[in-house]
Structure formats: C-alpha cells, structure tokens
Amino acid sequence: MGIRTRLTEALGITTPILSAPMGFVAGGKLAAAVTAAGGLGIIGGGYGDADWLDQEFAAARNVRVGCGFITWSLAKQPELLARVLEHAPPALMLSFGDPAPFAPAIRAAGSRLICQVQTIAHTRAALDCGAEIIVAQGSEAGGHGAARATLTLVPEVADLLARVSPDTLLVAAGGIADGRGLAASLMLGADGVMMGTRLWASPECLIHPNHQRAALASDGDGTIRQTAADTARGYDWPEEFNGRVLRTAFVARWQGREAEHRQAAEAARPSYIAAVSEGRTEESGVFVGEAIGLMRDVLPAAEILARTTREAEMLLRERGLALVT
C-alpha cells in the first residue's frame, strides 16, 4: 500500500524519506540509490568543492537527486550555487546559516527550497525567505546541529507551521533509523523524515568501512557533541553549532582542551586527514548520530528504505489500532 503524505505528493516519491546531505560522504551513488528506492536522495555539498560536486552529479547517472549546502560556507563561494543549479536538482537544501541571499536563485531555477532548522527562530527565518520544506533537526543527529531534541522540536515547528504557513511541508530529522522513527515522526506532525546515520551505514556511502564497523560496534552512548573534529580540519563553525561524533580516542584526548587543540591543530592537520581517509577510527572524528544504537549492520540503501517503510506501515496499521479501545 505504501505511505502517502504531502511530501510524497509534492516531490513525486513513493516513500516519505529523504537522505541527509552528509558533507562529502553522501555522494551521487548514495543519492541515486535512495531516489531509485522511492525516496529523494540528496548529495552532500558540504563546504563546497566544485570538481567534487560535478563528479558526484555524474555518479548519480542522471537520476533525479537534490543537493545540500552548509549555508555559511556557501556564502564564501556563492558561485557554487549556480553551478549546482545547472544540474536541475528537484530540491536544494540549505543548513546552518541565513538562507535569504540564496533563496531567489533557487526558486527561479525551479528547485524546491529546503531549509534545515534547529530552533524556532531558524524556522521563522526560513519561512521569511519562502522555504517550501522545513527539516526540523534534533540534537540526536550525527554531524552538526544545536541543542533542541527531535521529540519536542518537530511538533513545536508543526504547530508554528499550522498557524502561520500551513502549506509548508515538515520533515523530521535526528535519531531516525527505522520504521519506529518514521511512524513516530508522522504522529508528531511531520510529512516525512530525513535519514542520515542509518544511510551512512550503507555500501553506497563514501565512508571507510572501518569507521562503519566501529560505529556499529558502539551504541548511542558512544557518541558525543564536540568541536574537536572541526578544529582538526580547520573549519570555523558558528558558535551555536557543534558536531556529534563517535567517542574515539582522538575526541577524548581533546575534550575540555579546546584552546590547546586550536594551537596544535594546524601542524597535525595532514596526519589527521590521512587517519580519516585511511580508516584509522580511533585517530579520527567520525560524524555519526545516536541512531547507531538502533543499527546492527551495513545494508544497501534500497533495503534500508524498504524495511523502514514496511515497519512504519505495520506500526501505523496494527499497533495504532491495538492501542485504541
């Protein structure tokens, strides 16, 4: 039967699942696999690399996929937006910064503007610039975010949209890894979900298998919000955001020693980047969310979407009816 929502109807998809545009690991292969499985895949443009973006759109092989940017970083290379819009993505997602300077070009190109938000203030700013889809991201998510939790942020944003912008669609993100998360998000007022960490543990994701194995051997308690991974790479993030990563020896070494780390990071950067790319997990900051505690294996994206949708259908049909007398 499938799950039909306003999101599936608006995007022409068959399951209300979007893939998170995880910077430089959500490439064209993963995005295309998610779209082929009935959702909408989104390439992770991250901090912006023109050649990488061209390469990953080519890897998607003309499959309909979107793209996402870190907004404050895009502001340093605004020409990248036009380059991506040449690929005619059905949706363009902006996160972590003011979307207003980029919204007119996105709408003019015929792409849907998706804004990821972490607070009610972010939500209002996204609505002011005409966002058609809001992704309400809780702090359980892997990668960057803020302090609000998914369970309360999503319905609060849903209530706001119902009052001031009822046509705007809502997607829940943060800690969603299976059908329980999808079903719960729909009950909270979302039109669909965005999945990151669960799809990170897929063979289509551009991540070293060692990092996947280490994360799957851990649990939700094995993650932590920190800034060490950004300091190591030389990224100066706005203060309100930090990143959830696996609690590795590298992260533990610098937790609480941020000032000292900033002084040492530049000299150590080449060795840190090599550790990440070579799969030396304990020497890395590996961006994953609390959802790793709900996962046991690496699965193809198509199987992840099929299982999630099937589980959610069962819960919505059977458990819901069983609980109501």
Reply yes or no on whether the pLDDT at 110 is more than 80: yes
State whether 226 and 145 are in the same domain: no
Tens digits of residue pLDDT in 262-278: 999 999 999 999 999 99
Give the strand pairing for 91-95 and 169-173.
Answer: unpaired
pLDDT at 67: 98
Residue 130 falls inside a structural domain: yes
pLDDT at res. 324: 75
Confidence of residue 325 (pLDDT cuts 50, 70, 90): low
Quick check: is 1 in a domain?
no
Is residue 256 in a domain? yes
Give yes or no for a contact between 169 and 194, defined as CB atoms under 8 angstroms apart. Answer: no
pLDDT band at 134 (very low <50, low <70, confident <90, very high): very high
Residues 285 and 311 placed together within one structural domain of the fold: no
Are 182 and 229 found together in one domain? no
Same-domain status, 243 and 315: no
pLDDT of residue 201: 98
Judge residue 140's burial from the number of C-beta atoms within 10 Å of its C-beta, 0-12 exposed, 13-18 middle, 19 or more buried: buried
Whether residues 150 and 172 share a domain: the answer is yes
- 215 and 150, same structural domain? no
180 and 234 assigned to the same domain: no
Amino acid at 67: C
Whether 17 and 126 share a structural domain: yes
Residue with the larger pLDDT of the pair 143 and 320: 143
- The burial of 98, by beta-carbon neighbours within 10 Å (0-12 exposed, 13-18 middle, 19 or more buried), is given as middle
What does the pLDDT read at residue 322? 76
Neighbouring-strand partners of residue 43: 67
Shared-domain flag, residues 38 and 16 = yes
Flag whether 189 is in a domain. Answer: yes
HSE toward the beta carbon, residue 45, CA cutoff 13 A: 29
pLDDT, tens only, 13-50 = 999 999 999 999 999 999 999 999 999 999 999 898 99
- Please indicate, yes or no, whether residues 13 and 40 belong to a single structural domain of this protein: yes
What is the reported pLDDT for 1?
Answer: 60
State mean pLDDT over 170-184. Answer: 98
Query: In which band, very low, low, confident or very high, does the pLDDT at 320 lie, cut at 50, 70 and 90?
Result: confident
What's residue 257's pLDDT?
Answer: 95
| Average pLDDT of the segment spanning 96-114 | 96
- Global confidence as pTM: 0.96
How confident is the model over 171-191, as a mean pLDDT?
Answer: 98
What is the structure's pLDDT at 323? 79
Residue 62 has pLDDT above 90, yes or no: no
Number of independent structural domains in the chain: 2
Q: Is the dihedral of CA 306, 308, 311, 312 positive or negative?
A: negative
Both 201 and 225 in one domain: the answer is no
pLDDT above 90 covers a percentage of the chain that reads 95
Q: Are residues 174 and 240 in the same domain?
A: no
Helices 28-36, 301-314: crossing angle, 10 deg rounding: 40
pLDDT at 105: 97
Tell me how far apart the alpha carbons of residues 227 and 242 are, in angstroms, rounded to a whole number. 6
Query: Predicted confidence band at 261 (pLDDT cuts at 50, 70, 90)?
Result: very high
Q: For residue 49, give its domain range.
A: 6-206+296-323
CB 152 within 8 A of CB 129: no
The tokens describing 180, both together, are 């329980």
Residue 258 confidence (pLDDT):
94
3-state per-residue secondary structure call for the chain: CCCCCHHHHHHCCCCCEEECCCCCCCCHHHHHHHHHCCCECEEECCCCCHHHHHHHHHHCCCCCCEEEEEHHHHCCCCHHHHHHHCCCCCEEEEECCCCCCCHHHHHHCCCEEEEEECCHHHHHHHHHCCCCEEEEECCCCCEEECCCCHHHHHHHHHHHHHHHCCCCEEEEECCCCCHHHHHHHHHCCCCEEEECHHHHCCCCCCCCHHHHHHHHCCCHHHEEEECHHHHHHCCCCCCCCEEEEECCHHHHHHCCCHHHHHHHHHHHHHHHHHHHHHCCHHHCCCECCHHHHHCCCCCCHHHHHHHHHHHHHHHHHHHHHHHCC
Helices 50-59, 28-36: crossing angle, 10 deg rounding: 40
